[in-house]
Amino acid sequence: MLFRYRGALVLGAFALNIALASSPAKAALDMVIAPQSVVAGKSFTDCSARAKNALTAVMQSATEAGTGSGNWVGVQRIDGSVAATGIIECHPDAGGYRAGFTCATQVPPGEAADALCGKLTAAFNAATAGYTGASHAGH
């Protein structure tokens, strides 16, 4: 009886282990560069503040890679693993600034990188005074 009970436990552990082992779906790395935002007449500090706010709103995470660098990083974890990362880079340009967006995600479980970058761009641009539109040209 005792052995039968122990055997059932071991079988249960075996089944659970197999289930857990097969649950992580094979994922692929997805990385994109989204169109830059070009903002006239605003300061670098404004860009940094917007970058931090956008990452916090979309990814609930925002860290500046080097104090004062204007290079902001957001990280999203799913089940403890890094599933998505977003970067907003601020660069002064002609009395205003340019903000560059890069996203890298693990799909699945993360969403597509272009979808994430789209959200970050929208959050960054929301209510941006002096925003002249997304631009890839005119450097």
Interface of this chain with another protein, residues 34 to 53, rule: CB under 8 A: 35-36
Choose the stretch contacting another protein; rule: CB under 8 A; options: 4-12, 39-47, 50-58, 123-131. 4-12
Rule CB under 8 A: say whether 122 interacts with another protein.
no
- 58, 120 contact by CB (below 8 A): yes
Task: Give the interface with another protein as residue ranges (CB under 8 A).
Answer: 3, 6-7, 10-11, 13-14, 17-18, 20-22, 24-29, 31-33, 35-36, 65-66, 69, 71, 73, 75, 79, 81-85, 87, 89, 91-93, 98, 100, 102, 104-106, 110, 136-137, 139
